[in-house]
Structure 1
Amino acid sequence: MPQASKIILLLLFGQYVYSQEECIKSLVLSCNDCIKSGPGCTWCKKLNFTKPGELEAVRCDTKQKLIEKGCPNDDIINPLSDLTKIQNKPLRNATEQTKTPVQLQPQEIEVNLRPGHAYTFELKFKRAVGYPVDLYYLMDLSYSMGDDLNNVKNLGIKILEKLQSITGNARIGFGSFVDKTVLPFTDTAEEKLKKPCPASEVKCQPAFGFQHVLSLTNDKEQYTTLVSQQNISGNLDIPEGGLDAMMQVVTCVHEIGWGNSTRLLVLATDAGFHMAGDGKLAGILEPNQETCQLDNRNTYSKSNTWDYPSVGQIARKLEEQNVQPIFAVTEDVSPIYKELSKLIPKSAVGVLSKDSSNVVNLVVDAYNKLSSNIIVSHVGLPEGISVTFISNCPEGQKSSDKGICNNVAIGQEVIFNVTVKAAKCLEKATFNISLLGFNEKLKVVVKTRCECECDNKDITHEYCNYQGKVDCGICSCNSGYLGQRCECKLGVKDEAALKAQCHKDNGTECEGRGDCECGLCKCHQTEGGKSYYGRHCECDDEHCEKDKNKLCGGNGDCRCGECICHKGYEGTACQCNKSDENCLTGETVCHGRGKCVCNKCECQRGYSEHDRCGKCPKCKLPCKESGHCVECKAFGTGPYEKNCSVSCGHLEITVEEKLAVKECSEKDSLGCRMVFSMTEQDGFDKYYVKVLKDRECPQGPNVALIVGSSLAGVALIGLLLLVIIKAIFYLKDLKEWKRFEKEAQRRQWAKSENPLFQKATTTVANPAFTGDS
């Protein structure tokens, strides 16, 4: 398959994929509204497709989504772009029967464009044999060009003969120029105006700006006669009025005699040129008006009234009239004209010999170069339409806003793939695609397909409760009826309930931007002339964020207060070129923990933007949470033993003999302590874990020690209890004794004797005692 065909298929496939992936809807009340919303929007006309109370806007979506929702393919409305060839003459050379060659095919087409859809067609070009050439020789007749004039008188015929030998159909014309006849450009003394040449010069014509001498002709004798009558003239400063003269040659189409041909303008000079603004030196303030101003003597009548034209004016007029300039200049000024040539499409610069004797070869070489370099461009492109070209050239494929092929030989055919796209719905518009340097053009008539073509029947329908007609699957109600199925008649009693449906979150009716009719908001227009939209008129497309004082930066579309950026742009105001150069982190973007907006990472979960979401200053390693997974993956035990690979896929674990960093220490299900380190991987909750091979586990129990220790402990506890009890009793007795002593001290008063009290006396006798020892 040719490379060009592959490119076209890729472009078309890309457009198809784009159209299937996106349908940005704004205000959609009908099929027509849907089609106008965007290139990916299609409409389902199936009856009963919407649920009760559901907005009809759900009928508008991408084709794939409508099919997924249950809309049959035959019920999907999706107008596509197409093309009709109105004039399509075949390519042909000039012959005796058909003297006019055809180099461009087709010649007129009509394109019906679906807004947002790009349509590509072929434009063929073939350099014809015998294509006519018109050459106008414009010569500087200032005094320094005296020697060159004599050669031009003789060499002009040779130029004509050479061109006729190449094309078989050539004509030549002649004109001359010097400069404006006012100070400081020309000496305005009367005698100097009549003879601006040195006194020694016998043949000298009065000072002049531009004069047209000979219209385009193939009459060699007429050329020789008129040109031989020309004489040298003169001026004061070095720059000449070449741009002034070029403007008249280009704009005086009828007077010069330009035909349907390759148009060449040879400017021969040995000096630079005045340009716009230089006229102020002579008090000339009126800008050049870019029109033909030849008087009855074929001289430039506004030379001393209008300023010199600018380079931009000259370039534009040359392109409009398909005139290709050849600057035949001396070597000392060639750098100036080479810079000028860069600003003028399809122009060439040749260096003249001192006496211009090489002018024939110079012109022929320039003609061959210009004619073999084919440039296709659009002219008069209406607003809202874009055109791009893919050039199928011998040197390879090129894509740009112009179709360019170099070194195209006579008889060689090249193809330009032209892609036309309409950004919005337009009235019928026309523009041309032209070949620079040739007079042939392709006329392109553009229409936009912004209306649905449905097989509607002009009868009231049961679906609309016999109070309306079906239009592309939705009801168009009779006067006095509203609702999706024309079920609501104006003036019904339950008006309060219907009006409640027009209040969003108990707010104002239709957000104060519309009128409530039968439970539906009919939205007003915005200040900018567009309509509010949405279920409650809550949306408009005029209050999005601005950048550089432009809505969405001029790089996106405002949709309900948010910017939907065009391809290649991003940001809240579409202010940035889409790029992730500063967000790349190896094979991921922002380490998989954020998104790249305006070439800067916007991180999630507290990760830092300074290192492209590489670290989270406030985050802690999930040591405890990872314990069971570390146990099952490293040692094959624990609660996750049976489904370890499923539950712990976020951890990549290796077992190491030693660890340089011991960040985590957790107990496993056996009570052993696992030591491991964790390194975060790209994304969320993914870690590379290094686990120390040896776990720290508790030793088994010593029974004898435990039993002995237990008995000793019991004995010790019993002894301690006895001591404690003894101490308690001792302390209690001690407390009672002290209390007794205290009571005893309080009874000391009872020991005193009463002198009035006489104690009783008791005598006891032992009858057996005699008193003898």
Structure 2
Amino acid sequence: MRIPRMRFNQRMCLILCVSSLLLLLHLEPALCQNSSYCEGAPTCGECISLDPACAWCAQEGYSSSGAPRCNVLSNHTDAGCQDISNPEGSYTIIQEDPLGDAGSSPINKTVQVSPQIIDLTLRPGETQSVTLNIRPAEDYPLDLYFVMDLSYSMSDDLKNLRTLGGVLARELLKLSSDVTMGFGSFVDKVTLPFIFSNQDLLKLVCDTCDPGFGFRNNLPLSANLDKFSEKLLSATYSSSNTAPEGGLDGIMQIAVCKEKIGWREGARHFLVYSSDSSFHVAGDASLGQIFSPNDGECHLDPTSNEYSKANEQDFPSIGHLNEKIALANIYPIFAVLDTVVPVYTKLSKLIKGSTVGVLAADSNNIVGIIKNQYKAITSRIELVDTAPDGITVYYTAHCGPGDTQPGVSLCTGLSLGDIVSFDLEITATACFDDVSTQSFTVKPVGFEETLTITVEVLCSCDCENEQVSGSDICEGNGALVCGECECNPGWFGQDCQCSGDTGSDDVSQCTGPDSVTVCSGRGECLCGQCQCFPRQDVEEIVSGPFCQCDNFSCDRFEGELCGGSQRGKCVCDEKTWTSKCQCKKGYTGNACQCPDTNDSCMASTGLICNGFGDCVCGVCQCDPEESFRGPSCEECGICVGDCGLYRECVLCKVFDEGRLSPEECDKCGMIITVEKTLVLYNNTLVCETLLPNNCTVKYFYETLSNGTVHVHVQKETECQRRGGAGVSAVNVAIGIIIAILLIGLLIVLLLRLYIWYLDKKEWAEFEKERSKAKWDTSTNPIYKPSTTKHTNPMYGKTVLMHVEKPEKGE
């Protein structure tokens, strides 16, 4: 009987669906049993350190069943293990005072960071998520220390600042009701070639200048703001020989001399640095025969309040200075002339929390700079941490409703009193050396309040502390630890049943299937088992049933075995009994040389290799046919601006065109706004690109204060704005080809017509000449007779001759 086609298809579909379901159910356990990453760990501690998915079976006699003791949890459960060691991480909040100002807080104290203390327990490779809430307090106490370059070139600025002291104090009181102000000054090291140490020489250069000095604390921070104005009025300038000044010496002393400067706890610390010149850095002091490095300690003389080690220690390095500024919770504001702004802008990028303001030639805008920079600094929150090696912190910023930024630890554009939060994903990548617990802090730049996180990394099992010495299971020759025997010296075997004195003439059990060498030549056959020779270096281990495996013959990356301890380690693969790299989470490859994600290839646009290349082993291989190069294929030497970076995202997001797939298009990380008409700013670079229909798209981009790129795209293409539909490049090419063919045919036709005209003209002339010819056809015109006849024309005619008569006398 013929089965109807539709019914047959339905039956086949049902059969296929059921078969697929049964196949998946059959394969799922096998997939779950892919535990090669866990297998091979000899102890419980090493097992749980491999990966959070690895667990240890401590049940006695379990290894005799052939199942590895280190395996994934589901495999142990399926195998019926009754004693599984699988410690899990934990998260405990120790202190969590709520956010609030001193008057509104339940503890009557200003709280800007919550929680304050957290304890974490992690296994290597495990991640715990912590949420940190931050609220910059309103009307928070303010400490402002003003340090000024008093070299001779700043004399005009000093005159103006003397009159602005009172104005500055009044403006700061508008920002906070609790203000302290201090004043310091610097010049340079008092030795050649920086400053003339001889006063007579100094007077020759500048007879009105005071003796030079390194740094002087003219006025510690004080709530008496009138004193600040008085100190400014009494300040005098000096002279130096070099254009860079010793300002970094002064900043270092301001940061480390907390008590002498007067920095208060529970206050925002601002340092205003004013200069018209660049600065000396570490190493410059060698010009003055000063070679001792800066020790980062306070050396303010109690009598003169001057830096007493100016001529004994080198200038501080920028990294050292950044560390001390962070510890003192100081916000530096560099108010400098426009000629040195580029130098201080680079310095600001290296010092967390610092900003740069352009100082007028006479410093009359210093009050405005301080107010503007204060608002700019308090409108941003940036987190920093002191996580030790073996701990990584990944940030996700929640700066406002709908404003979530993965991988970002900065929020900007805030107002005092706004609450922001950050998700911290804390991962233990390795065990700590010699200790199991370490603490570190996470804090906003410039804040005194911190989140303290104590992390315990689990690298050992509880059962390892419960060993049974002289266990009967171990024949009395070893200790039972986590279900396995640890044999006493001289004993070996699964149950410690063999000793060094036990011999065997039969070495067949000690020879591998593909070898004729007993114990691979790296051991001795005792009691029917290979006893591998120990290495002189205790860290190198020879193992395997035939001593064919070791932990030092794996591939190397950058000269280190398996890329180093942070990437992986060399283990014995119990399936193949060969040495191979066991990579840690985050790495892959035969030498753990490659990251297992494409994060290192991610461009600023959110695309892998910017959409112009492929990520191979964590490195971008840029498309050779494109103009983009660099680590993430973002550098274009022939491009104008960054138009090319955002071209593909604009095409796919707005016009559904371009080379990006829908998945890649979704990863475009910039904000794209479609506008009817582009509203351009000053010096805005307008980008243009073509659609496949040859229509022009216009757009421009800007970088927001939080680092996000905002692209503005004109809604209508140039074709639409002109009312045309646009002509595709293919149609243009076809039209050109047809036009060339038509022109060629026309030329050939014209040539043929011209030749025909010439032929016709010549034929007409020929016919005309032929019609005029009169030929005598009776005689051959070219015949010549053999005789010649001459006729006398006068023959037969009478000739009359007239003779004249001569004259007489002739």
TM norm. shorter chain > 0.5: yes
SS at match of 1:447: strand
> TM-score if structure 1 supplies the norm length?
0.64
Residues 579 and 599 in structure 1, CA contact (< 8 A), matched pair in contact too: no
Query: For residues 364 and 282 of structure 1, do their structure 2 counterparts lie closer, same or farther at Cα, with a shift above 3 Å needed?
Result: same
SS of alignment partner, residue 309 of structure 1 = coil
The alignment covers a number of residue pairs equal to 556
Match of 2:72 among 62, 70, 73: 62
Question: What is the deviation of 1:436?
Answer: 1.2
Query: In 2, are the aligned partners of 1:113 and 1:448 still within 8 Å (CA)?
Result: yes
Aligned partners of 1:349 and 1:566: how far apart in 2?
43
Whole-angstrom CA distance in 2 between matches of 1:539 and 1:477: 21
Q: Is contact 2:145-2:182 (8 Å) kept? A: yes
* Aligned counterpart, 1:420: 426
Which residue type is aligned with residue 563 of structure 1? C
* CA distance, structure 1, for counterparts of residue 447 and residue 96 of structure 2: 18
Given that 1:114 and 1:448 are in contact with CA atoms closer than 8 Å, whether structure 2 keeps it comes out as yes
Q: Structure 1 unaligned runs (5+)?
A: 1-17, 581-595, 602-773
Alignment pair present for 1:573 and 2:591:
yes
Q: Secondary structure at the match of 2:570?
A: strand
Contact 2:141 2:179 in 1 (8 A): yes
Question: For residues 224-373 of structure 1, what are the structure 2 equivalents within 5 Å?
Answer: 224-260=229-265, 261-296=267-302, 297-373=304-380
Q: Which residue of 2 aligns with 1:375?
A: 382
What's the counterpart of residue 754 of structure 1? Answer: none
Asked if the contact 1:514–1:537 (Cα under 8 Å) also holds between the matched residues in 2, the reply is no
Q: How far apart are the structure 2 equivalents of 1:598 and 1:166?
A: 49
TM-score by length of 2: 0.61
- Superposed CA RMSD in Å reads 3.9
> Which residue number in structure 2 is paired with residue 631 of structure 1?
none
1:119 is aligned to 2:131: no
Shift of 1:176: 0.3
Q: Is residue 50 of structure 2 the alignment partner of residue 37 of structure 1?
A: yes
Distance 1:22 1:119 in 2: 24
Q: Does 1:159 align with 2:168?
A: yes
Deviations 1:60-118 (A, max 9, x none): 111233344x236x644321111222332222212398664221122222211111212
- After superposition, the Cα gap between the structure-2 partners of 1:506 and 1:278, relative to the gap in structure 1 and judged at 3 Å, is same
Conserved 8 A contact 2:504-2:526: no
Paired residues of 2:498 and 2:527 also in contact (CA < 8 A): no
Q: Provide the residue aligned with 2:448 in structure 1.
A: 439
- Whether the 8 Å CA contact 2:40–2:571 is kept in 1: the answer is no
Q: Deviations over 1:671-717 (max 9, x none)?
A: xxxxxxxxxxxxxxxxxxxxxxxxxxxxxxxxxxxxxxxxxxxxxxx
Q: Secondary structure at the match of 2:269?
A: strand
Give the deviation of 1:539 after TM superposition: 2.8
Change (3 A) 1:314 1:457: closer
Greater displacement, 528-537 / 359-368: 528-537
Q: Please point out which of 410, 415, 422 is paired with 2:416.
A: 410
Matches within 5 A, 1:279-678: 279-296=285-302, 297-379=304-386, 381-394=387-400, 396-400=403-407, 403-426=409-432, 427=435, 428-453=437-462, 472-474=482-484, 484=494, 488=497, 496=504, 504=512, 507-509=517-519, 512=522, 519=529, 521=531, 524=534, 527=537, 529-554=539-564, 555-560=567-572, 561-565=579-583, 571-575=589-593
Are 1:322 and 1:438, in contact at CA under 8 Å, matched by a contact in 2? yes
Gap change, CA 1:598 and 1:171, over 3 Å in 2 = closer
CA 1:48–1:224 in 2, change beyond 3 Å: closer, same or farther?
A: same
Counterparts in 2 of 1:388 and 1:530: CA distance versus 1, 3 Å = farther
Contact 1:21 / 1:40 at 8 angstroms: preserved in 2?
no
Question: How far apart are residue 227 of structure 1 and its match?
Answer: 3.2
Q: Specify whether residues 516 and 125 from structure 1 end up closer, same or farther in structure 2 by C-alpha distance, changes over 3 A only.
A: farther
Partner of 2:221: 216
Q: How many angstroms apart in 1 are the aligned matches of 2:138 and 2:447?
A: 14
AA in 2 matched with 1:558: C
- Give yes or no for contact 1:498–1:519 (8 Å, CA) kept in 2: no
Separation (CA, whole Å) in 1 of partners of 2:93 and 2:32:
26
Secondary structure in 2 matching 1:496: coil
CA-CA distance at 1:177 after TM superposition? 0.8
1:604-661 deviations in Å (ceiling 9; x for gaps): xxxxxxxxxxxxxxxxxxxxxxxxxxxxxxxxxxxxxxxxxxxxxxxxxxxxxxxxxx
1:490–1:518 CA contact under 8 A, matched in 2: no
Cα distance, 1:484 vs structure 2: 4.7
> Could you tell me how far 1:140 is from its partner in structure 2?
1.0
Q: Work out whether residues 125 and 585 of structure 2, in 8 Å CA contact, stay in contact via their aligned partners in 1.
A: no
- Paired residues of 2:477 and 2:487 also in contact (CA < 8 A): yes
Cα pair 2:524 2:530 within 8 Å, conserved:
no
For 1:502 and 1:334, the matched residues in 2 are separated by 76
Query: In structure 2, do the counterparts of structure 1 residues 515 and 441 end up closer, same or farther at CA, with 3 Å as the change threshold?
Result: farther
1:705 corresponding residue in structure 2: none
Instruction: Give the alignment partner of residue 82 of structure 1, picking from 84, 90, 99.
Output: 90
- Report how far residue 47 of structure 1 moved: 5.0
Q: Distance in 2 between matches of 1:480 and 1:335?
A: 71
Q: 1:374 to 1:39 in 2, by over 3 A?
A: same
The one-letter code matched in structure 2 to 1:286 is: S
Instruction: Work out whether residues 127 and 408 of structure 1, in 8 Å CA contact, stay in contact via their aligned partners in 2.
Output: no
Identity %: 34
**Structure 1 pair 396/42, CA: closer, same or farther in 2 (3 Å)?**
same
Equivalent position SS for 1:542: coil
* 1:452/1:149 CA distance change after superposition, 3 Å: same
Q: Deviations over 1:275-310 (max 9, x none)?
A: 233323333333333222222311112222222223
Q: Cα deviation per residue 1:160-207 (whole Å; 9 max; x = unaligned)?
A: 4433432333221110011222222223442344x58744x4xx4321
